[in-house]
């Protein structure tokens, strides 16, 4: 039997061993309980009562819920709402004061009976801060990899239902692109760029692995940001190699809130906000549109018989009457969102518990768009005797999303004539506002309002994520831990499109369309971990970790469609009543992963650290002989600041050098990709079509040699602190090489199949990341001010395609030696002018025949003919750099945070500025007089511009209009402004509160810099959608703006309570 097939045997064997161990352990526990019951009596005879107060060293405010323990014992207490405490301790004992976000302090009791304690903020510069890493934790001073730590307070500076929206511009090396403002929509994240040549829409092959409390989780949309205690982002391979075949895209480690020792602490975080569009698309008004139509007919070059589609009689009458309809005003309305999050934490010495309950609701700016999320989280940690600790964490989420409009509404609102009234004289909607045009059957988008109860596109998802651990201290420094995770989700979709609506232009009930889709997913993850931590001779600190891990994934899906639902009220309730024949499809996949891992951490004299990791993964998705792959990694760090020769450099507070190398992988191969694929088709037997027989044919051959895609990465980083850590920063440079990328290889027809999959492609990437924290003012007359800044860039390129000699794949826009995100198209050099026709320059271009006012592109091969050979690489969609700046200020009870981020030197696609070919395929007709347009600087004989071509009433495909869609997408954007006030703890403690903070927040309040917005060609330069299928296999290679729901700004009023 293979290693993967042995999984069940190992699990059963382990369960049996645990039962035997537990029986023995229970007897031991009862013995120790008896002894422990006598301990308090013995201690009481020697101890005395010690009282005191704990305050913040900077603000002097009293700190509630500070944990106070007697060192070396299990005796402890917490401060009350006024920061006061009382504990029994002997004169020779030491009190340990600890609180989340502050530096732990130890104070000897001695003869003191009253102690005043001040705690310092535990800033990111604290080298003793504990950071979560893969399968464990490490002190920050011992970290050898590139790790970004994000605190709970940082995430709360940008209130958002989605975690990624709070991270934009906050972490160097992390790029986040929005996919629209539709409620419940997700963003796409990249850590250190792309590696794969082919990628599915969304995170695909290059998205990061998300791990929650040590267990792989999946997507981030079901994570409630208020449940997060801390977040770490692992970026380089020396840190991510520990996750083997899932770590190439980086790793996001999330630690959720758990219980704590002390009296129960209740928290409530709530806000209510209103959203509105950041601006309307700059479409033509009635007079501009009439002029545009007139010029389109006059400049029409499509020849005799081509319909110019002049203004209809209705439009002429409305023009005379001064009608100018902006359809955006009729559809876009303010949206609202509400969030309520309730938390409970508490516990005693051996038992800690936590509970979180939340509800979030958001209504969109489009009719009937909404999103609901309900979540409940519960944790419990229990000590059993001296050696055993167990814990459970369960996160349960129910979401519902309705989006009946889909993504087509903004496009239609731009194209609709402003010279058409939206309503008839009797108050009913003008059902066919395009009658008399080429699109006479188009139905008014206002039916999304009037028929809103009939149109549904409802997705309901339920998810439960459960993790369990059991930890046993075997010997001094040696412990065993078992982690188990179960992740289950079920998604149900209902869709119904009735006739005579925007989503279904048919006029008869027979064309009504109903859909039902169901998806079930679950995965099980089991981890056996052995840890050994020991310090020898006070200078040699060793940490060993061993892992045996099993993972199984299951996917099951089905979908059904039917036409001819007899009545709208039936919708999807009963397909058997429909006049059409139901059609359906299904899918099934199961995969398994078996892993072994070992890690060594060695630190000498708290200055020199070595981390070495080795992991071996085996996957069921690959063929025997290729199922296993090894992932080694090594990291080194040197705390230079602790060297004797640094003592005289008093301005240096910290100086650390680290470097690492490692290999991480990507196992995102289809469950049965190695088996090949069949499809159905008809064969003729005999001499007539009556003899056709349905049969199977091979579409792709089995890929028996399919292997692993892997990425090797080297990283060197420097961390520095200056002037008592008033200035703290880090800089990283890295290089990564990815090989054995999965590509489809075309086969000769004689093979009987069109293609097969092989591991052939290679890419490279390199980049630089910097981050800086500057304490401008520290408690200057009660005023504090700090700045956080990030700056980073990534440069990636293809180094090999299917063979070492293949230099390009023009059909997919892949070019060896160039980025994955290149723009391969004609190079627009202006607009043909009348002067060009007069001097013969225009005539020299023999094909295609052009006239003044058309787009002029470069004749690369100088042969007078513009064809596919004249396309070239004219740029790419990758930013030259990205960055962010966060300013935090506080004065007494007031606090203000301002978050700004930038993306510079990149191109984006504006689909409304393109025609029917090139990058904007299917998005509209540039300057075609048959529909409304964005206001733009287009050519006419009286306005000989070089910006956009002349208008034209013809229906033919315009030449080279893709070139006008590429625009400068650079921007600097104000992401968030948050102003809060915290009431005096002395006042609120009288009514039982330890924290009362109210705040107002503005998200996306304004854009500081954007050439695109300045030219009024877009509302927001930040992308709100990814590109279309014309870009070949990689859909993530360019970013579009003015697509999907318009971007929104949000104003929020919220409150944070703790009692």
CATH number at residue 87: 2.60.40.1120
Are residue 116 and residue 146 in the same domain, yes or no? no
Q: Contact at 8 Å (CB) between 1024 and 179?
A: yes
Q: Which of 691-705, 718-732, 754-768 is predicted with the least confidence, judged by mean pLDDT?
A: 691-705
User: Which of 122, 139, 156 is a domain's end point?
Assistant: 122
Domain co-membership, 158 together with 264: yes
Number of H helices, E strands in the chain: 11, 50
Residues in the chain: 1059
Residue at 899 is within a domain: no
Cis peptide before 848 (omega within 30 of 0): yes
Residues 143 and 259 in one domain: yes
* 168 & 231 share domain: yes
Take residue 39 and report the two structure tokens written for it: 């301990």
The reply to whether 87 and 134 lie within a common domain is: no
The predicted pLDDT at position 14 comes to 38
Give, in order, the Cα–Cα distances in Å from 929 to each of 92, 527, 566, 904, 934: 91, 64, 39, 35, 12
Q: Give per-residue pLDDT as tens, 339-372.
A: 999 999 999 889 999 999 999 999 999 889 999 9
Rounded CA-CA distance 793/769 in Å is 7
Confidence class of residue 482 from pLDDT cuts 50, 70 and 90? very high
Range of the domain at 207: 130-273
Residues 151 and 242 in one domain: yes
Does 227 share its domain with 110?
Answer: no
Candidates 159, 135, 152; CA nearest to 209 is 135
Instruction: Please write the tens of the pLDDT for every residue from 837-858.
Output: 888 888 777 777 788 999 999 9
68, 93 contact by CB (below 8 A): no
Provide the b/e sequence for 1030-1041 (b: ≥16 CB within 10 Å): ebebbbbbbbbb
Q: pTM for the full model?
A: 0.84
Give the N- to C-terminal CA distance of the chain in Å, as an integer.
57
Separation CA 193–CA 176 (nearest Å)? 10
- 191 and 138 together in one domain: yes
CA proximity to 886, closest of 898, 895, 876, 877: 898
Give the confidence band of 139 by pLDDT, cuts at 50, 70, 90. confident
In a domain, 199, yes or no: yes
* Cα–Cα distance, 985 to 996 (Å, whole number): 8
Domain boundary among 122, 157, 186: 122
83 and 215 in a single domain? The answer is: no
Number of folded domains that form the chain? 3
Report how far residue 43's alpha carbon sits from residue 88's, in angstroms, rounded to the nearest whole number: 9
d(CA 399, CA 397): 6
Q: Are 217 and 246 in contact (CB under 8 A)?
A: no
Identify which has the larger pLDDT, 719 or 810. 719
Q: Is residue 498 part of a domain?
A: no
Last residue of a domain, one of 67, 94, 122: 122
What is the percent of the chain where pLDDT is above 70?
88
Distance in angstroms (rounded) separating the CA atoms of residues 501 and 507: 9
Going by C-beta distance under 8 Å and a sequence separation of 6 or more, which residues neighbour residue 432? 440, 441, 442, 443, 444
Query: Residue 637 falls within a domain, yes or no?
Result: no
Residue at 25 is within a domain: yes
164 and 237 part of one domain = yes
113 and 135 housed in the same domain: no
Place of tokens 């892949």: 814
CATH code for position 141: 2.170.130.10
> Is residue 650 assigned to a domain?
no
pLDDT at residue 925, rounded to an integer: 66
Torsion (CA) 935, 936, 941, 944 in degrees, nearest 10: 160
| pLDDT tens readout for residues 851-893 | 899 999 999 999 889 988 999 999 888 899 999 999 999 998 8
Average per-residue pLDDT in the chain?
85
149 and 257 inside one domain: yes
Beta strand segments in 403-539, E: 456-475, 478-497, 513-536
Query: Which comes out higher in pLDDT, residue 779 or 549?
Result: 549
Q: Evaluate whether 458 touches 402 at the Cβ level (below 8 Å).
A: yes
The answer to whether residue 993 is domain-embedded is no
Say if CB 913 and CB 962 are below 8 A apart: no
Closest CA to 927 of 855, 1016, 986: 855
Query: Please, is 63 exposed, middle or buried when counting C-beta atoms within 10 Å of its C-beta (0-12, 13-18, 19+)?
Result: buried
Question: Beta 995-1009 vs 881-891: how paired, if at all?
Answer: unpaired
Which helix (H) or strand (E) covers residue 496, if one does? strand 478-497
Residue 63 falls inside a structural domain: yes
| Rounded distance between C-alpha atoms, residue 646 and residue 363, angstroms | 58
């Amino acid at each position: 039997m293979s290693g993967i097939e042995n999984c069940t045997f190992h699990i059963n064997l382990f369960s049996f061993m645990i039962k035997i161990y537990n029986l023995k352990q229970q007897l031991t526990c009862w013995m120790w309980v008896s002894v422990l019951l006598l301990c308090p009596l013995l201690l009481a005879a020697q101890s005395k009562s010690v009282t005191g107060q704990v305050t913040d060293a900077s603000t002097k405010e009293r700190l509630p819920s500070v944990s106070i323990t007697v060192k070396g014992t299990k005796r402890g207490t917490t401060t009350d709402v006024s920061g006061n405490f009382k504990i029994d301790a002997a004169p020779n004992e030491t009190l340990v004061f600890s609180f989340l976000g502050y530096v732990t302090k130890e104070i000897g009791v001695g003869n003191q009976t009253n102690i005043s304690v001040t705690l310092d903020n535990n800033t990111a510069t604290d080298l003793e801060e504990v950071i979560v890493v893969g399968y464990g934790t490490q002190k920050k001073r011992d970290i050898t990899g590139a790790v970004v730590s994000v605190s709970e307070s940082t995430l709360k500076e940008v209130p958002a239902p989605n975690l990624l929206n709070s991270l934009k511009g906050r972490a160097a090396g992390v790029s986040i692109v929005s996919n629209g403002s539709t409620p419940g929509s997700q963003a796409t994240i990249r850590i250190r760029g792309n590696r794969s040549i082919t990628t599915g829409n969304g995170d695909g092959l290059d998205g990061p692995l998300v791990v929650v409390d040590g267990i792989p989780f999946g997507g981030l949309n079901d994570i409630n940001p208020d449940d997060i205690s801390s977040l770490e982002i692992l970026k380089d391979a020396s840190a991510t190699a520990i996750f083997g075949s899932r770590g190439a895209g980086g790793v996001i480690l999330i630690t959720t809130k758990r219980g704590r020792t002390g009296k129960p602490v209740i928290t409530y975080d709530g806000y209510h906000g209103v959203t509105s569009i950041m601006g309307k698309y700059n479409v033509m008004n009635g007079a501009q549109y009439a002029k545009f139509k007139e010029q389109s007919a006059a400049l029409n070059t499509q020849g005799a018989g081509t319909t110019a589609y002049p203004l209809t009689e209705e439009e002429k009458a409305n023009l005379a009457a001064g009608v100018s309809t902006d359809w955006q005003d009729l559809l876009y309305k303010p949206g609202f969102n509400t969030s309520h999050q309730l938390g409970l934490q508490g516990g005693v010495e051996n038992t800690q518990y936590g509970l979180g309950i939340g509800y979030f609701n958001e209504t969109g700016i489009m009719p009937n768009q909404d999103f609901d999320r309900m979540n409940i989280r519960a944790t419990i940690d229990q000590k059993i005797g001296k050696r055993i600790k167990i814990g459970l964490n369960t996160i349960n989420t129910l979401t519902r999303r309705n989006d009946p409009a889909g993504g087509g509404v903004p496009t239609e609102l731009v194209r609709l004539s402003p010279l058409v009234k939206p309503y008839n004289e009797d108050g009913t909607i003008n059902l066919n506002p395009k009658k008399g045009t080429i699109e006479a059957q188009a139905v008014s988008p206002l039916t999304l309002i009037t028929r809103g109860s009939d149109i549904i596109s409802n997705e309901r998802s339920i998810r439960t994520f459960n993790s369990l651990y059991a930890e046993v201290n075997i010997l001094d420094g040696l412990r065993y831990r078992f982690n188990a995770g179960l992740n289950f989700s079920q998604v149900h979709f209902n869709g119904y499109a009735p006739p005579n609506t925007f989503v279904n232009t048919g006029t008869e009930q027979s064309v009504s369309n109903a859909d039902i889709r169901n998806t079930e997913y679950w995965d099980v993850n089991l981890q056996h971990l052995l840890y050994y931590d020991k310090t020898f001779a006070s200078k040699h600190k060793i940490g060993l970790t061993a892992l045996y891990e099993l993972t199984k994934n299951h996917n099951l899906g089905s979908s059904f469609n039917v036409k001819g639902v007899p009545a709208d009220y039936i919708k999807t309730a009963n397909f058997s009543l429909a006049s059409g024949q139901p059609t359906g499809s299904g899918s099934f996949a199961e995969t398994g992963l078996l892993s072994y891992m070992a890690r060594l951490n060695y630190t000498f004299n708290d200055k020199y650290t070595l981390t070495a990791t080795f992991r071996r993964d085996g996957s069921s998705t690959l063929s025997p002989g290729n199922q296993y792959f090894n992932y080694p990694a090594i990291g080194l760090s040197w705390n230079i600041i602790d060297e004797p020769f640094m003592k005289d450099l008093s301005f240096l507070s910290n100086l650390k050098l680290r470097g690492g190398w490692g290999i991480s992988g990507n196992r995102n191969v289809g469950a049965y990709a190695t088996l090949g694929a069949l499809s159905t088709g008809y064969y003729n037997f005999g001499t007539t079509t009556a003899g056709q027989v349905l049969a199977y044919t091979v579409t792709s051959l089995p890929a028996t040699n399919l292997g692993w895609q892997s990425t090797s990465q080297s990283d060197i980083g420097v961390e520095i602190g200056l002037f008592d850590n008033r200035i703290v920063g880090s800089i990283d440079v890295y290089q990564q090489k990815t090989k054995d990328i999965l590509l489809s290889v075309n086969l000769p027809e004689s093979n009987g199949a069109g293609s097969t999959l092989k591991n052939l492609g290679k890419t490279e990437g390199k980049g630089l990341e910097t981050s800086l924290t500057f304490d401008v003012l520290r408690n200057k007359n009660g005023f504090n001010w700090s700045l956080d800044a990030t700056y980073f860039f990534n440069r990636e390129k293809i180094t090999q395609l299917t063979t070492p000699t293949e230099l390009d794949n023009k059909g997919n826009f892949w070019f060896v030696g160039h980025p994955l995100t290149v723009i391969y198209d004609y190079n627009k050099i202006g607009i043909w002018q009348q002067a060009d026709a007069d001097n013969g320059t225009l005539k020299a271009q023999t094909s295609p025949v052009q006239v003044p006012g058309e787009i002029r592109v470069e004749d690369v091969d100088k042969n007078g003919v513009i064809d596919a050979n004249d396309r070239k690489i004219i740029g790419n969609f990758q930013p030259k750099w990205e960055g962010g700046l966060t300013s935090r200020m506080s004065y007494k009870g007031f606090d203000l945070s301002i978050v700004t981020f930038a993306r510079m030197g990149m191109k984006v696609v504006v689909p409304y500025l393109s025609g029917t070919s090139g990058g904007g395929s299917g998005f509209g007709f540039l300057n075609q007089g048959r529909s409304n347009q964005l206001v733009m600087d287009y050519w006419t004989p009286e306005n000989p511009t070089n910006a956009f071509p002349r208008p034209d009433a013809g229906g033919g495909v315009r030449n080279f209009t893709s070139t006008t869609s590429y625009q400068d997408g650079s921007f600097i954007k104000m992401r968030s402004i948050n102003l809060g006030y915290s009431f005096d703890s002395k006042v609120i403690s009288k009514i039982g509160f330890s924290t009362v903070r109210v705040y107002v927040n503005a998200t996306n309040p304004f854009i500081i810099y954007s050439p695109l917005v300045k030219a009024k060609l877009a509302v927001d330069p930040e992308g709100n959608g990814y590109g279309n299928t014309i870009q070949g296999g990689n859909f993530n290679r360019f970013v579009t703006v003015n697509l999907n729901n318009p971007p929104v700004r949000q104003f929020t009023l919220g409150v944070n309570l703790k009692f």
